[in-house]
């Protein structure tokens, strides 16, 4: 049973609270937790390195077009 609670929170906190109450967001969070527990994760460094490679490749393509 939920009871109304009065508190002061800024806009970001309110947005976070409302997002976590959304059933669709809750499903995404649950799925990501399950994937993490199943070992379907990678270090942040690997993800950032992948973005860096893509960014460098995009710069090369832009230079060729110029």
pLDDT 10s digit of each residue in the chain, 66 long?
A: 788 777 788 999 999 989 989 999 999 999 999 999 999 999 999 999 999 988 887 777 677 766
4 domain-assigned: no
50 domain-assigned: yes
Q: Degrees (nearest 5) of the Cα angle 51, 55, 61?
A: 145
Boundaries of domain holding 28: 11-65
pTM (predicted TM-score): 0.53
48 domain-assigned: yes
2 domain-assigned: no
* Euclidean distance between CA atoms 53 and 56, whole angstroms: 5
Residue 38 is predicted with a pLDDT of 98
55 domain-assigned: yes
Domain count, the chain: 1
18 domain-assigned: yes
């Amino acid at each position: 049973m939920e009871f109304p609670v009065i508190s002061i929170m800024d806009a970001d906190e309110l947005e976070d609270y409302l997002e976590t109450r959304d059933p669709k967001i809750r499903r995404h969070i649950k799925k990501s937790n399950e994937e993490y527990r199943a070992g379907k994760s990678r270090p942040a460094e690997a993800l950032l390195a992948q973005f860096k490679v893509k960014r460098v490749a995009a710069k090369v393509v832009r230079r060729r077009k110029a």
